[in-house]
């Protein structure tokens, strides 16, 4: 009974603290993700107030948080939209992967880490934070801008790529080797294609099994199906997160819309628990030695994200101001980077990887939204106009050999 009481006290105090941190983040115009990570560092081993009784509860909550993040992501897209975006934005997705994954892998090798850690760090530096970027675009009133579809297309490609990357990295970290990882990747490819085909052809039929008229039944059905498929996927070494993502894609129409509304509070709750859990698993004392490498990696890969956005927007015929806005918007990393780092931490790969990833995400998720505001400042607009004025005469000159 005593341990149960302590559990209630710890969980209650933690959730209340997270609520206050979320409110603080919104007041100062900052994503709450870095604040949740800092809370985890404060309450974890080596922190100010270590949590003991609630550690197992938070661990389970964190796993549910990852699953809900991914199913909500899948619910945002229909299978048809996903395939259409894939065709249109594939070149930009390739540019994005090359410019942002390779620096992470190279950085791991420079630190003397093995190829497994390089594979993990490549994923951490590759994927932008869909949640943070969507919030920044909404806060800055840019959802209707010409460059916004380009930004969203890059994010969709990244999200879909994770459906193939996560099974590969999960298998490799499980110690099955590269051959086992390739096998897991092949299974994931077949599974994703099968689900996409089924969703395109039979998505409405699948959704008809669930009624939007009974909110309670719909919530339990979607949540139960998501957890069940995620568990089965994990047993098949395809990754629980990918299983959840595929459930989201398979649901469509009014069912998907209603599910988003009902699952959003649950996602916010368990996602916050997930970020705290990652902070709990990181020793604050291990962070100072990796701060300088994390800062260097953050600066490098934020620049490569800017290049990604500029090139992708230019391909779509968008002018220089829109290109710059697209590049700056893509800089923050967040939920996926922490999910990938969490897999590495669970497998025991490179003890410095967790503090490096925590510091890296903190740097990008704090500075990214702030730098995204640069195009709104008058001095920056003048600088862009000068660049455009310099470019116009050069473009007007006739081509010469």
pLDDT score of 294: 93
For the segment 357-382, what is each residue's pLDDT rounded down to a tens digit? 888 988 898 888 888 888 888 888 88
Task: Supply the DSSP string of 144-203, one letter for each residue.
Answer: TSTTHHHHHHHHHHHHHHHHHHHHHHHHHHTT-HHHHHHHHHHHHHHHHHHHHHHHHHHH
State residue 105's pLDDT score: 94
Closest to 339 measured CA to CA, from 157, 128, 66, 117: 66
400 confidence band (pLDDT: 50, 70, 90): very low
Residue with tokens 């540019």: 95
Q: Which of 51-55, 88-92, 126-130, 189-193 has the lowest mean pLDDT?
A: 51-55
Per-residue confidence (pLDDT) for residue 41, from 0 to 100: 79
Q: Which two tokens stand for residue 80?
A: 């048809």
Q: How confident is the model at residue 107 (pLDDT cuts 50, 70, 90)?
A: very high
Q: For the chain, what is the mean pLDDT?
A: 80
- Model confidence at 152, pLDDT cuts 50, 70, 90, reads confident
- Lowest-pLDDT choice from 86-90, 141-145, 357-361: 86-90
* pLDDT tier for residue 154 given thresholds of 50, 70 and 90: confident
Q: What single-letter DSSP state applies at residue 333?
A: -
Q: What is the DSSP string of 192-258?
A: HHHHHHHHHHHHHHHHHTS-SS-HHHHHHHHHHHHHHHHHHHHHTTS-HHHHHHHHHHH--HHHHHH
What share of the chain has pLDDT > 90, as a percent? 14
Task: Among 270-279, 302-311, 313-322, name the most confident range.
Answer: 302-311
Task: Evaluate if residue 222 carries a pLDDT over 70.
Answer: yes
Say yes or no to pLDDT of 401 above 50: no
Q: Is the pLDDT of residue 337 over 80?
A: yes
pTM metric for this prediction: 0.74
Is residue 44 classed as helix, strand or coil in its secondary structure?
coil
pLDDT of 300? 95
Residue with the larger pLDDT of the pair 17 and 100: 100
Contacts of 203 (CB under 8 A, 6+ apart): 78, 79, 250, 251, 252, 253
Give the C-alpha separation, 311 to 313, whole Å. Answer: 6
DSSP secondary structure code for residue 284 in this structure: G
pLDDT(190) > 70: yes
């Amino acid at each position: 009974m005593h341990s149960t009481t302590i559990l209630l006290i710890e969980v209650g105090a933690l959730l209340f603290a997270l609520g206050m941190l979320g409110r603080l983040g919104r007041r100062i115009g900052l994503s709450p993700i870095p604040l949740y990570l800092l809370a985890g560092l404060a309450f974890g081993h080596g922190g100010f107030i270590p949590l003991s009784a609630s550690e197992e509860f938070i661990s389970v909550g964190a796993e549910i948080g990852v699953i809900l993040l991914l199913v909500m992501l899948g619910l945002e897209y229909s299978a048809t939209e996903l395939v259409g975006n894939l065709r249109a934005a594939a070149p930009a997705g390739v540019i994005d992967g090359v410019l942002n994954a390779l620096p992470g892998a190279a950085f791991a090798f420079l630190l003397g880490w093995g190829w497994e850690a390089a594979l993990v760090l490549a994923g951490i530096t590759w994927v932008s934070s869909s949640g943070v970027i969507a919030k920044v675009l909404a806060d800055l009133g840019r959802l209707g801008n010409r460059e916004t579809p380009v930004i969203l297309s890059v994010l969709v490609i990244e999200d879909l790529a994770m459906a193939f990357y996560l099974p590969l990295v999960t298998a490799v970290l499980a110690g099955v080797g590269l051959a086992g990882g390739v096998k897991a990747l092949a299974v994931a490819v077949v599974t994703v294609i099968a689900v996409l085909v089924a969703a395109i052809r039979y998505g409405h039929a699948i959704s008809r099994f669930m009624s939007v008229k009974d909110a309670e039944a719909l919530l339990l059905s979607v949540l139960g199906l998501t957890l069940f498929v995620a568990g089965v996927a994990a047993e098949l070494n395809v990754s629980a997160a990918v299983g959840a993502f595929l459930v989201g894609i398979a649901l469509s129409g009014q069912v998907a819309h209603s599910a988003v509304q009902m699952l959003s509070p649950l996602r916010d709750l368990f996602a916050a628990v997930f970020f705290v859990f990652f902070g709990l698993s990181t020793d604050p004392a291990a962070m100072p030695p990796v701060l300088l490498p994390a800062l260097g990696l953050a600066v490098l890969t934020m620049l490569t994200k800017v290049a990604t956005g500029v090139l992708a927007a230019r391909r779509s015929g968008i002018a220089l101001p829109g290109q710059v806005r697209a590049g700056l918007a893509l800089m923050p990393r967040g939920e996926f980077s922490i999910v990938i780092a969490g897999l590495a931490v669970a497998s025991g790969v490179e003890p410095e990887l967790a503090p490096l990833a925590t510091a890296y995400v903190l740097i990008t998720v704090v500075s990214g939204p702030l730098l995204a505001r640069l195009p709104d400042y008058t001095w920056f607009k003048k600088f862009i106009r000068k660049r455009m004025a310099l470019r116009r005469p050069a473009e007007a000159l006739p081509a010469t050999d």
